[in-house]
Amino acid sequence: MKILGVIRDDNYLEYLNEGLAGIILPLKDYSVDYFKYYNLLQIEGYKKSTDKLCFVVINKMIFNNELDSLSKVLKELERIKVDGVFFYDLAILNLVRKNHLNLNLIFNQTHMVANSDTINLYSSLGVKGAYLSNEITKKEILKIRENTKSDLFILLLGRAVAAMSRRNLLTSYFANKNKEKKDTIIIKEPKSKQEFLVIENKFGTSFFYNKILNLSNVYKSLDDSGINYGIIEQGNFKKCEYKELIRAFVNFDKEKIDKLAGHNRGFLYRETIYKVK
Amino acid sequence: MKKIELLAPAGDLERLKVTLLYGADAVYVGGEKLGLRANATNFTKDELKEGCIFAHSLNKRVYLTTNIVFHDSDRINMEEYIKMAVDCGVDAFIVSDLYLAKYIIDNYKTVEVHISTQDSITNRESASFYRDLGVKRVVLARELSKEEIKEISSINNLETEVFIHGAMCTCFSGRCALSNYVTNRDANRGGCAQVCRFAFDYQDEDKFTLATKDLNMAMYIKDLIEMGVSSLKVEGRMRSLYYLATVIGSYRFLIDSIYDETLTDEKLLEYERRLDKVANRDTTSQYFNHLADVTDQYYTGRQEVSNQEYLGLIIGYDDELESIVLKERNYFKVGDEVEIFTPDGDIYPYKIDIIYNENNEVIEIARHPEEILKLPFKEKLKPYSMIRLINKR
């Protein structure tokens, strides 16, 4: 499994030497649910500075008035020769197909990448890979690997996105309370005690589950199964901690990973229910 | 030009009949599998068949929701389920998953595929993608402005469906798994626990809420017709018969009056008031005129208020007493002023002078929901006529 990083620091290049196969760069003005975004110049700069992998994220909902600029951006990404584009909105797939762009696409619909047939269908439409949902079980992940030929990406370590709204929920909340606005808060659901990190930007409001997801306990079996890429996000980790984590995944050291990132295994062994008896 | 469709929710066979009788052109229903309301009273095969026969007898249509986000295990017997629904006579499937959409398009030429709002279609390119796949209609994201809806609705050979009334999700549909994380109930497979209506702890004694007000587009139906939208959708498969009858009846009146150019400002206001009265939350037009803002949200833990104006469902006629027979829903008494309304849109103002119980004894007060009662009335009324409170004595 190749390890990809999502880096919050400005000096992102220095992490490559720790063993990352490449990094994922959320495109400024076209992506959401990340802590740092990069413009095309920075992406091109990265691409020129290393031969490591360069994936770009375009995962915001696209509106009509953004389509022309999106079309240009996709052409630029083709020119820059990025290794892949993670996409949410099908406008991207349509534009890439319509304009015959030579871009590898990765199906990245957050909670909706959850079965083999759909991944295979996207593959038949020319989509090269799929970034699996964080809300599926280990058994389901392995089954998808068995049933598909697409490149599969999985979040090994990071804050899972729980929801995204077009609403400026923090602006509204603080305006109603007549209090100074904050762009980031932590809220807790009182019964379940589950916490969420809430972040607002110009595109709306993102909710992250506030425990770091850490799949170190299944890393080996995912690797053995043939999952192609594991993603580890820097999040709030300090520079030295994140470097340690990268090394710990590359040279697999579960104890070290767990010590730094905790034991939240997400939905690996927790099948969600939908029919309440 | 084809008249715009009024599309109603139907949580069960009775609701299907009521909404169609009250003027819906089509209904959407959930079956025993693959729908996003796993805990609603969904349609069995026999009910689905009966519902389709009933709808088709009125020259109306039935759409089946199959819009969950699939996991591999949900695929089991999917083909048989789709075939069963086609055999029952459904006119369209509302689908979220691309594989299922393609499967139906490739295998069944007689039914339509409509892409669910779960896919949050927000632009003309993604809408065109679905059209080119063979999809007949897309249900647009609820986050769109007037101009955005208009532009997508101008795409050739693709119908658009727009929500006009009912509850809203706080987040983009399909882009929310809060329910999974808080309750372990899968938001995208029919188990949504509506966590966006919970109150969260935030600092000391503050509560953070993210719930939205409901949607009410009565004032903009004319705009939506002129913009080329094909279908107007009402939310609420689990709502009461009374709510559905009132909402569907009101929108039927508004649509018809717009087409025959008889809608006056007074009538529009009257129907807006009627819709407001039946709502159990405040309503706004959400994103239609501007990005949803501070005025479109709730900031308290509890948002619903109960509605007690629905007094009874008319279930028959007593020839001897020359009285309508009704099943009581809420308390009323002699002296109350009410309205009797019918699926045909007729409204009869009525003052309650006499109430008979099931044994034809005169009573003063109706205080037991589900009790069979009779009220003197000269005309026999259509099944599913109802009584609502206007003024208490």
Three-class HEC string of B156-185 = CCCEEEEEEEECCCCCCCCCECHHHHHHCE
pLDDT tens-digit readout, A188-227 = 999 999 999 999 999 999 999 999 999 999 999 999 999 9
pTM: 0.94
What is the rounded CA–CA span in Å between residue A139 and residue A160? 19
One-letter amino acid of A112: M
Q: Is the pLDDT of residue A130 over 80?
A: yes
A100 found inside a domain: yes
CATH number at residue A123: 3.20.20.70
Residues of chain B with CATH 2.40.30.10: 310-391
A148: closest CA of chain B, how far (Å): 12
Between chains, do A172 and B293 touch, taking CB under 8 Å as contact? yes
**ipTM summary value:** 0.95
Q: What is the pLDDT along chain B (393 residues), one digit of tens a residue?
A: 789 999 999 999 999 999 999 999 999 999 988 876 666 678 999 999 999 999 999 999 999 999 989 999 988 899 999 999 999 999 999 999 999 999 999 999 999 999 999 999 999 999 999 999 999 999 999 999 999 999 999 999 999 999 999 999 999 999 999 999 999 998 888 888 899 999 999 986 788 999 999 999 999 999 999 999 999 999 998 889 999 999 999 999 999 999 999 999 999 999 999 998 888 888 999 999 998 888 888 887 656 676 778 999 999 999 999 999 999 999 999 999 999 999 999 999 999 999 999 999 999 999 999 999 999 999 999 999 999 999 988
Contacts 24+ apart (CB under 8 A), A215-218: A215/A154, A215/A155, A215/A156, A215/A157, A215/A265, A215/A266, A215/A268, A216/A156, A216/A157, A216/A249, A216/A254, A216/A257, A216/A258, A216/A261, A217/A254, A217/A258, A217/A263, A217/A265, A217/A268, A218/A138, A218/A265, A218/A268
Do the Cβ atoms of B156 and B124 come closer than 8 Å? Answer: no
What lies within 8 Å, CB to CB, of B270 at 6+ separation is: none
Do the Cβ atoms of B23 and B43 come closer than 8 Å? Answer: no
What lies within 8 Å, CB to CB, of B2 at 6+ separation is: B230
Between chains, do B122 and A63 touch, taking CB under 8 Å as contact? yes
Going by the DSSP 8-state scheme, the letter that residue B127 receives in this structure is H
Classified as helix, coil or strand, A157 is strand
Pull the structure tokens for residue A142: 């392995």
Do the Cβ atoms of A149 and A123 come closer than 8 Å? Answer: yes
Cross-chain CB nearest to A162 (options B72, B151, B177): B177
Pull the structure tokens for residue B106: 């490739």
Query: Which residues 313-372 of chain B have a CB within 8 Å of chain A?
Result: none
Contacts 24+ apart (CB under 8 A), B277-281: B277/B307, B277/B309, B278/B242, B278/B243, B278/B246, B278/B247, B278/B307, B278/B309, B279/B214, B279/B216, B279/B307, B280/B304, B280/B305, B280/B306, B280/B307, B281/B167, B281/B213, B281/B214, B281/B305
Between chains, do A173 and B299 touch, taking CB under 8 Å as contact? yes
What is the rounded CA–CA span in Å between residue B161 and residue B63? 13
Mean pLDDT calculated for residue range A135-163: 97
Helices (DSSP H) in A81-164: which residue ranges?
90-98, 116-124, 138-147
Residues pairing with B27 in the sheet: B8, B62
The DSSP line for A68-99 is HHHHHHHHHHHHHT-SEEEE-SHHHHHHHHHT
Q: For chain B, how far is it from start to end, CA to CA, in angstroms?
A: 48
B349: closest CA of chain A, how far (Å): 42
Pull the structure tokens for residue A19: 């063993």
Between chains, do B124 and A67 touch, taking CB under 8 Å as contact? yes
Between chains, do A135 and B178 touch, taking CB under 8 Å as contact? no
Going by the DSSP 8-state scheme, the letter that residue A130 receives in this structure is E
Q: Which of B118, B181, B192, B196 to mutate to test the interface with A (most CBs of A within 10 A)?
A: B181
Q: Is the pLDDT of residue A267 over 70?
A: yes
Pull the structure tokens for residue B242: 């009374």
* pLDDT at res. A273: 79
A205 found inside a domain: no
Residue B20 exposed, middle or buried by CB count within 10 Å (0-12, 13-18, 19+): buried
The secondary structure of chain B in percent helix, strand, coil, rounded to multiples of 5, reads 30, 25, 40
Give the alpha-carbon dihedral of B83, B86, B88, B91, to 10 degrees: 160
The H or E element containing residue A155 is strand A151-165
A165 found inside a domain: no
Residues pairing with A63 in the sheet: none
CB-based contact, B194 to chain A, within 8 Å? no
Residue A194 CA from chain centroid, whole number: 21
A20 found inside a domain: yes
CATH class, range B5-296: alpha beta
CB-based contact, B228 to chain A, within 8 Å? no
A192 found inside a domain: no
Between chains, do B125 and A120 touch, taking CB under 8 Å as contact? no
A271 found inside a domain: no
Do the Cβ atoms of A232 and A212 come closer than 8 Å? Answer: no
User: Chain A residues with CB inside 8 Å of B119's CB?
Assistant: 90
* pLDDT at res. B136: 98
pLDDT band at A16 (very low <50, low <70, confident <90, very high): very high
User: Chain A residues with CB inside 8 Å of B72's CB?
Assistant: 115-117, 140, 143-144, 147
A204 found inside a domain: no
Q: Is the pLDDT of residue A55 over 90?
A: yes
Q: What is the mean pLDDT of chain A?
A: 96
Between chains, do B176 and A164 touch, taking CB under 8 Å as contact? yes
CB-based contact, B186 to chain A, within 8 Å? yes
What is the rounded CA–CA span in Å between residue B314 and residue B318? 11
Between chains, do B181 and A194 touch, taking CB under 8 Å as contact? yes
Query: Which residues 297-316 of chain B have a CB within 8 Å of chain A?
Result: 297, 299
* pLDDT at res. A276: 57
Give the alpha-carbon dihedral of A13, A17, A18, A23, to 10 degrees: 40
**How many other CB atoms sit within 10 Å of the CB of residue A86?**
25
What's the domain count of chain A?
1
**Hunting for tokens 């019918």 — which residue is that?**
B342
Helices (DSSP H) in chain B: which residue ranges?
13-21, 45-57, 78-88, 98-107, 124-133, 146-153, 178-183, 221-226, 241-259, 265-278
User: Chain A residues with CB inside 8 Å of B210's CB?
Assistant: 165, 167, 169, 173
Mean pLDDT calculated for residue range A105-115: 96
Between chains, do B180 and A93 touch, taking CB under 8 Å as contact? no
Going by the DSSP 8-state scheme, the letter that residue B75 receives in this structure is G
A147 found inside a domain: yes
What is the rounded CA–CA span in Å between residue B223 and residue B225? 5
Query: Which residues 232-251 of chain B have a CB within 8 Å of chain A?
Result: none
Nearest CA in chain B to A118: B99
Between chains, do A187 and B206 touch, taking CB under 8 Å as contact? no
Question: Residue A26's domain spans which residues?
Answer: 2-159+212-261
B109: closest CA of chain A, how far (Å): 20
Pick among 2.40.30.10, 2.60.120.10, 2.102.10.10, 3.40.50.720: CATH of B310-391:
2.40.30.10
